[in-house]
Amino acid sequence: MNKEFGSLERLDLREVWRKEPSEFTPWLANNLTSLGRALGMDLELISREVAVGDFSLDLLARDVGRDRLVVVENQLDRTNHDHLGKLLTYAAGNNAAVVIWVAAEIREEHRQALDWLNQHTDSDIEFYGVVVELLRIDDSRPAYNFRAVALPNEWRKTNITGRQTTEKGEAYRDFFQQLIDELREQHKFTGARAAQPQSWYGFAAGTSGVRYVAAFTQAGRFKAEVYVDRGDAAQNKALFDQLAQDKASIESQFGEPLEWERLDQKQACRVVISRPGRIDEPPDSLVDVRKWAIEKLVKLKKVFGPRLSKLAE
């Protein structure tokens, strides 16, 4: 049986984006979710064109799941030494933990440089080289693709620095890894892929400064929450108050009461639902906690997502 296939064509990026600062960088800022998915992260934009001395960083973002600052430098052409130097300057100037270099082509010597940096820095710093491609089959519309060509080797970095994860840390990692995988694969909730040895994990809400969080507390409870921290207490309280005005409708749609924590003495605010839960419980009990967490997180996103998007307009 003969099958007909189309011809795959790779396009020059400048056929779509002629100018880097005014066209490509804004497009990338609006598509950070796709870039994050390619790297197994939930990325949230903080700012564009961030001043670092006499230079200007393309994008400053946050890896929501691990609450780490991310610098993104992009090029429409092949990588060059000038941008490598800028990349390191921007990372240092913003105290970033994740460094992403996006370009039409990553030169072999620059890929090796990123690999070298990953091998000789500690596990708190990660360097990524990402090629952005424009692809088209026959006369179809072009489609973009992010392809990682340089990645941190977490196992190697952990062994180089000599860091050891505790048994409890590994239990947290295992719990949240299963949680993340199910949310990603069955609910399209996140692009995150790697859990950490910590008692919580955050997920991008699609609104800057807001995230969905799942966490074990020191009081022996497990919570799912909408966490608001836009970097400014007044902005946080204003957004919280706008949501609280719709409290009756929100709780009716959610199907049960929520805890509305304005936290007047702190910068952040949150809306919470919780249940008993500890990481040292038997495996069967943790399965129940995870199922509960997935149900509540998905429901929080369904209820709060549209409202947050509307308030962000």
- Determine contact, residues 185/231, Cβ cutoff 8 Å: no
Over residues 5-27, mean pLDDT? 89
95 vs 313 pLDDT, higher one: 95
> pLDDT tens digit string along 94-109?
999 999 999 999 999 9
Q: Residue 234 pLDDT more than 90?
A: yes
Which of the four pLDDT bands, split at 50, 70 and 90, describes residue 152? Answer: confident
Structure tokens at 291: 């199922």
Backbone conformation region of residue 206, classed left if phi is above 0, alpha if psi is from -120 to 50, else beta: left
Which of the four pLDDT bands, split at 50, 70 and 90, describes residue 53? Answer: confident
Over residues 40-59, mean pLDDT? 88
Least Cα distance to 272 among 296, 292, 291 occurs for 296
On whether the 8-160 domain is CATH 3.40.1350.10, my answer is: yes
Q: Which long-range contacts (CB under 8 A, 24 or more apart) does 119-124 make?
A: 119/153, 119/156, 119/157, 119/160, 120/160, 121/157, 122/157, 122/160, 122/161, 122/163, 123/154, 123/157, 123/158, 123/161, 123/163, 124/97
Q: Which of 124-133, 148-157, 191-200, 273-282 has the lowest mean pLDDT?
A: 148-157
Structural domain boundaries of the chain? 8-160, 167-312
Fold adopted by 167-312: Yope Regulator; Chain: A, (3.30.1460)
pLDDT at 264: 92
Residues near 101 by beta carbon (within 8 Å), at least 6 away in sequence: 73, 74, 75, 79, 83, 84, 87, 110, 114, 127, 128, 129, 130, 150
Structure tokens at 96: 């970033």
- Determine the Cα–Cα distance for residues 191 and 42; give it in Å rounded to an integer: 6
Q: Residue 156 pLDDT more than 60?
A: no
- Determine contact, residues 103/74, Cβ cutoff 8 Å: yes
Q: Which of 1-5, 15-19, 209-213, 255-259 has the lowest mean pLDDT?
A: 1-5
Which of the four pLDDT bands, split at 50, 70 and 90, describes residue 1? Answer: low
Structure tokens at 30: 């609006």
Q: Residue 162 pLDDT more than 60?
A: no
Q: How many CB atoms lie within 10 A of CB 22?
A: 9
